[in-house]
Amino acid sequence: MVASLDGRRRVIIEGVSPAVGEGKFAAKRVEGDVVRLEADIFGDGHDVISAVAFYRHESAKPVEIRMIPLVNDRWRAEITVDRIGRWYFTFEAWIDHFLTWHRDLRKRVDAKAEDLEVQVRIGLEMIRAAAGHAGKRDRRKLESFIATLEGDDPIDEKIDDIWSEDLQALMWRSSGRELATRYECELPIEVDRRKAAFSTWYEMFPRSAAGKAGEHGTLRGMVANLPRIATMGFDVLYLPPVHPIGDKFRKGRDNRVKAEPDDVGSPWAIGGSAGGHMAVHPQLGTIDDFEALAVAAAQHGIELALDIAFQASPDHPYVAQHPEWFLKRPDGSIQYAENPPKKYQDIYPFYFETEAWQELWNELRDIFLFWAGKGVRIFRVDNPHTKPLPFWQWVIAEVRRDYPDALFLAEAFTRPKIMYWLAKAGFSQSYTYFAWRNTKWELTEYFTEITKPPVSDFFRPNAWPNTPDILTEYLQHGGRGAFETRLILAATLSSNYGIYGPAFERMVHAPREAGSEEYLDSEKYELKTWTDDEDDLTELITIINRIRRENPALQQNETLMFHPTDNDQIVCFSKTSGENVVITIANVDPHNEHSGWIDIDLAAIGLETGQPFQVHDLLRGARYTWQGAQNYVKLNPHVMPVHIFRIRRRVRSEKDFEYYL
């Protein structure tokens, strides 16, 4: 006999959700979200079960909420997480003898049972016991019921009293729960600010901000770019590393092994005589300039995202100050980064198996804290999958303890289980395989996987059609239509998306060589001069980002749903948020016009079959009246390869109608 076991606890609670790794990791939500707390709850026999959920913000005491049974022994309570930080929940359930008796009494009355007197006495005993537990006011009320049931009234009248809702409420509050089952642990939910779920990123090299050929841009000079970026509708400006760049083994243009004297080097080769991860590259400016840029950006509704790349150039001060943080080879040289036969002599990785790993971890945490102290709350972390995974779980928790509004984007293009683990460990957002998912089948499979539980409970996609490292073949060869399609797919499939500009809006598409995804004359190794171009994608980007702001459906992913089409080159999907319904239909062949029939699951998006509905093309302004699920589309990549339709569910009044104009 297990000593601690009370065999009279007859209820089982299992299959709880949301639960990431059975509660080892936190589920992710954002401020204001309604969270469905669910569990499988059941016991033996036919008795009625009652169940509650307990939930609390980390700083508060638990609140109890009654659960509702759904089907198949699944129970639910809905809560609103209205503060950022960590929340916890758990469950309690028990055999509810009063409700069981109450339910059965109805059946007995209906069946004209002979033993109603005895049955009333059984209930009376339960009410007496509850009165013993109850507070003063409730006790008085329960005693009044007891008096009636003990009295001389006819049995019918006593039973009428038992049906009183007051009695049920009193019994709910006062019944004993001595034999309740409590779920074995509390489960965590990490609640972020809303930007974690809905953000629009623009990546730009500040050293290319000068606008004049050959001139090194500055952080102050970036200020002049802010109006353009804000007008396009971006709310996060992501800067590649702004730190001093090493001289030793500096890479030349197009990643050449030897740099020319005027080559600027890669910003990811961090550290030089002017300092390391807590310094600003002298040609970019100063820490003060950085803070000034952050303030100016905020005035445009833009937040800065800083690149955190944990590696050092051979000139990084750490190399001399902390040789124990680097791996020394038998010949005394420091091990540079390599993936044989490839060599990256301009970069020393940290040696995370050093005896001094705790000091190293603390220093790396302090880099986050340093920049958080300068106002940064979004960190884009470079290659987290090449540093020990447990480090990220620790450092993100450390930073968020002081800065609970800090967000982290994982730049890990690696195997799926590692990407998922990083997200579980705490990364707020993650880069995805979007850049290489071009066909209807690929897009459907991939975005269904990453936008539904269990993955969506911990993984928030951030979709990028390009980055300084990724110029896909689709963009290289697809022309303007390819850029348009990929922009709109990113912006409508994923509530978080971004572009690397101005290369994207200028539709830069020449690779370093055939078969390479590197840009020719990559900005990673040289200054660029970007001047205005009226024919670029700026206007389309501006429209798309406005559509995202105006349609709550596009600000989340959980309602994403793909609808069948009869042409494999045409993908169709919807997102809904309350009354707001947006359907995107894209031709994924950048070379040819395609037409076909789409087959919309009307019920799933809240439309009634047989009712006409209006679709409003948010790109072209046109309005069509559709009826039924099947509708015809024709999309020409040389004109505009995508429809974004907002659906009018029904006209209820002129005022309602206005809203959709």
CB closer to a copy of itself out of 58 and 532? 58
Q: What are phi and psi of 135, to 5 degrees?
A: -70, 175
152 near a copy of itself, judged by CB under 8 A: no
Distance CA 655, CA 657 (A): 5
Taking residues 378 to 407 in sequence order and writing x for each that binds a copy of itself by CB under 8 A, - otherwise, the string is: -------xxxxxxx--x-------------
Neighbour-count burial of 586, counting CB atoms closer than 10 A to its CB (0-12 exposed, 13-18 middle, 19+ buried):
buried
Using an 8 Å Cβ cutoff, are 473 and 482 in contact?
A: no
The residues, any chain, with a CB within 8 Å of residue 240's CB and separated by 6 or more, are 203, 205, 206, 267, 268, 307, 468, 524
Distance CA 222, CA 296 (A): 10
Q: For a copy of itself, which residue of 152, 165, 353, 534 counts as binding (CB under 8 A)?
A: 353
Contacts 24+ apart (CB under 8 A), 396-400: 396/425, 396/426, 396/427, 397/426, 398/365, 398/368, 399/365, 399/368, 399/369, 399/372, 400/426
Which range, of 13-21, 151-159, 192-200, 230-238, touches a copy of itself by CB under 8 A? 13-21
Which range, of 357-365, 560-568, 575-583, 641-649, touches a copy of itself by CB under 8 A? 357-365
Give me the catalytic one of 190, 203, 382, 505. 382
The type of residue at 263 is: D
339 near a copy of itself, judged by CB under 8 A: yes
18 near a copy of itself, judged by CB under 8 A: no
Closest separation in Å from C-beta 415 to a copy of itself: 6
CB closer to a copy of itself out of 339 and 625? 339
Q: For a copy of itself, which residue of 138, 274, 278, 357 counts as binding (CB under 8 A)?
A: 357
Three-state DSSP at 659 gives helix
Q: For a copy of itself, which residue of 4, 34, 45, 151 counts as binding (CB under 8 A)?
A: 45
Task: List the one residue out of 236, 241, 320 whose CA is nearest residue 279.
Answer: 241
Using an 8 Å Cβ cutoff, are 192 and 31 in contact?
A: yes
CB closer to a copy of itself out of 331 and 535? 331
442 among known catalytic residues: no
Three-state DSSP at 59 gives coil
341 near a copy of itself, judged by CB under 8 A: yes
E strand residue ranges, 548-648:
561-563, 570-577, 580-587, 594-599, 612-617, 623-627, 630-635, 642-648
CB closer to a copy of itself out of 104 and 254? 104
Q: For a copy of itself, which residue of 22, 152, 165, 534 counts as binding (CB under 8 A)?
A: 22
Which range, of 86-94, 215-223, 414-422, 548-556, touches a copy of itself by CB under 8 A? 414-422
**Interacting positions 80-119 with a copy of itself (CB under 8 A):** 104, 107-108, 110-111, 113, 118
Which range, of 12-20, 211-219, 221-229, 242-250, touches a copy of itself by CB under 8 A? 12-20
Q: Which two tokens stand for residue 190?
A: 């990490």
Closest separation in Å from C-beta 166 to a copy of itself: 24
How many Cα atoms sit within 13 Å of 361 on the Cβ side?
Answer: 20
Give me the catalytic one of 33, 411, 484, 505. 411
Q: Taking the mean position of all CA atoms in its chain, how far away is CA 625? A: 35
43 near a copy of itself, judged by CB under 8 A: yes
Q: For a copy of itself, which residue of 330, 515, 578, 610 counts as binding (CB under 8 A)?
A: 330
Q: Taking the mean position of all CA atoms in its chain, how far away is CA 517? A: 27
CB closer to a copy of itself out of 336 and 626? 336
Q: Which two tokens stand for residue 69?
A: 């049974």
64 near a copy of itself, judged by CB under 8 A: no
42 near a copy of itself, judged by CB under 8 A: yes
Radius of gyration, CA atoms only, the chain: 31
Q: For a copy of itself, which residue of 144, 362, 592, 627 counts as binding (CB under 8 A)?
A: 362
Closest separation in Å from C-beta 73 to a copy of itself: 5
Task: List the one residue out of 281, 285, 247 whose CA is nearest residue 265.
Answer: 247
Q: For a copy of itself, which residue of 59, 358, 531, 625 counts as binding (CB under 8 A)?
A: 358
DSSP 333: P
CB closer to a copy of itself out of 393 and 577? 393
Using an 8 Å Cβ cutoff, are 264 and 305 in contact?
A: no
Which range, of 39-47, 254-262, 437-445, 621-629, touches a copy of itself by CB under 8 A? 39-47
How many Cα atoms sit within 13 Å of 162 on the Cβ side?
Answer: 27
The residues, any chain, with a CB within 8 Å of residue 518's CB and separated by 6 or more, are 254, 255, 469, 471, 511, 512
CB closer to a copy of itself out of 179 and 369? 179
382 among known catalytic residues: yes
Catalytic residues: 382, 411
- List contacts with a copy of itself (CB under 8 A): 1-2, 5, 7-10, 12, 14-15, 21-22, 40, 42-46, 72-73, 104, 107-108, 110-111, 113, 118, 121-122, 124-125, 179, 329-331, 333, 339-341, 352-353, 357-358, 361-362, 385-391, 394, 415-418, 421
